[in-house]
Amino acid sequence: MTVRLYGRAVGHGSLSVVTAGFREVLEGAGLLEGFVALDKSGGSEENAAPAGALARDGVFTGNLNLVNAMRVGAKHERHWVQVTPNSTHVPPKLLGAVLQLPNVRILSASAWGTTMIGGAFAEMGLRYVEDGNIWCTYRGQGYHCSVHTMGHGVSGFVPVEAEIAKTHEDYYAGEFRVVHFSTTDGERKGTLELLKAWPMFLSTVRSKPELLLVLDHHARAALMQRLAFEDMVLPPQTSILARGDMDAATMSAFLCQQHLVCSPSRGEGFGLCPLQARACGVPVATTVTTGHSAGHCEGPGVMRIAQPSDLVAIDDGPDALAPAVTPESISATLSGAHDNWIDLATRSRAAARGVAQDWSWSAQLAPLVEQLR
């Protein structure tokens, strides 16, 4: 066994899900020697002195603010660090801390993210090196780093047939439930644009659709501030649900109760929610830019939300840019999904198993496992 993994152990948020995916694959490959729970103070039951301090490889999947935990009481020959930009802004300070690690290799969840990291390296004085390696290698300013594009995956998300059958019955009865998730106080999930689009969509249908916003505390507070600034209130047939701590089985059942998962994101490192919904056979309306461009947001059962080609400012850091998303394009996509839902749902359900297989954590991390052996 040659690997020590660093990541989040508590809850089922995106960082925890990614860490769990890496852990599942590394354990299955017989490579995991130890695990460091970066959120141990939050209730993790991991050992106080985890094994693997002298493992050849350290793999980091946590918040980059904690990347130096890889140097505390440990000595690894190689350091693999997950970096997932949400916009054109890659924090130089955090990236600089990553570069301080010996023999560091960066893991990026999308080709778009890899391009953003390469641009940040260029600004820091590192240059791309053509060395015949399949990875992107950069040198300069005393640093040598390679960037590996490696998507995220899905595990444990499956169609729940009883819920799917009930959802079909509800559609024939005139119901149409749309759900949207956000765990950030930033603009990048497109939540405000979705709320502006909702009344437009309602004007196009005779039934009474419902929009459910699943938000954590920070996302809800930020949304309320933005609504007040825009002199808006929640539109009709909209409700907010506190983001719960749901495992994959519970989340699968919840997703299968929805007619559509709407992810009008302006910026994503990868975007797990559309992939999880697709693995459950649930139709998705989504953008396909930034991290959503990794391929998991396209295919049967997906409605694409069109976006302008220009990049505009976003609150993801100094001078950060990301594609815009308009209420008009969201509304048009919602209308298309509503009117064609039976066909969309049928294709979503038929594709679910293939999506789960093609985007399993084991499939996505196979290149990393090969490098770690």
Q: What is the CATH number of the domain that holds 25?
A: 3.40.50
167 lies in the same domain as 144: no
145 lies in the same domain as 210: no
Cα separation, 82 vs 67, whole angstroms = 10
Q: How does 141-152 read in b/e, with b if 16+ C-beta sit within 10 Å?
A: eebebbbbbbbb
Q: How many domains does one find in the chain?
A: 2
Helix axes 191-202, 327-339, angle to 10 degrees: 50
Average pLDDT estimate for 316-333: 97
14 lies in the same domain as 82: yes
Q: Is residue 365 situated within a structural domain?
A: no
Cα separation, 287 vs 293, whole angstroms = 8
Structure tokens at 60: 């980091």
Give residue-wise pLDDT tens across range 150-181. 999 999 999 999 999 999 999 999 999 999 99
- Confidence at residue 48, expressed as pLDDT on a 0 to 100 scale: 64
- Confidence at residue 174, expressed as pLDDT on a 0 to 100 scale: 95
pLDDT mean across residues, the chain: 94
Helix axes 272-279, 341-358, angle to 10 degrees: 100
**Of the given ranges (40-54, 114-128, 136-150, 174-188), which has the lowest mean pLDDT?**
40-54
Range of the domain at 39: 3-108+110-149
Last residue of a domain, one of 98, 121, 149: 149
199 lies in the same domain as 301: yes
165 lies in the same domain as 145: no
**Of the given ranges (37-46, 145-154, 177-186, 234-243), which has the lowest mean pLDDT?**
37-46
- Confidence at residue 42, expressed as pLDDT on a 0 to 100 scale: 46
Give residue-wise pLDDT tens across range 23-81. 999 999 999 999 999 987 544 455 667 889 999 999 999 999 999 999 999 999 999 99
| CA-CA-CA-CA dihedral for 129, 131, 137, 140, to nearest 10 | -40
259 lies in the same domain as 220: yes
Q: Is residue 370 situated within a structural domain?
A: no
**Would the pLDDT of 243 be above 90?**
no
Last residue of a domain, one of 123, 149, 175: 149
**Would the pLDDT of 132 be above 90?**
no
95 lies in the same domain as 57: yes
Q: Is residue 187 situated within a structural domain?
A: yes
Q: Is residue 29 situated within a structural domain?
A: yes
126 lies in the same domain as 192: no
Q: Is residue 373 situated within a structural domain?
A: no
193 lies in the same domain as 140: no
- Confidence at residue 10, expressed as pLDDT on a 0 to 100 scale: 84
CATH at residue 211:
3.40.50.2000
The model's confidence at residue 133, banded by pLDDT at 50, 70 and 90, is: low
The model's confidence at residue 115, banded by pLDDT at 50, 70 and 90, is: very high
Q: Is residue 84 situated within a structural domain?
A: yes
165 lies in the same domain as 223: yes
Beta carbons within 8 Å of 17's beta carbon, 6+ residues apart = 272
143 lies in the same domain as 200: no
Q: Is residue 154 situated within a structural domain?
A: no
Cα separation, 220 vs 240, whole angstroms = 8
Q: Is residue 372 situated within a structural domain?
A: no
Token match 């059962």: residue?
A: 301
347 lies in the same domain as 207: yes
Q: Give the whole-number percent of the chain exceeding pLDDT 70.
A: 97
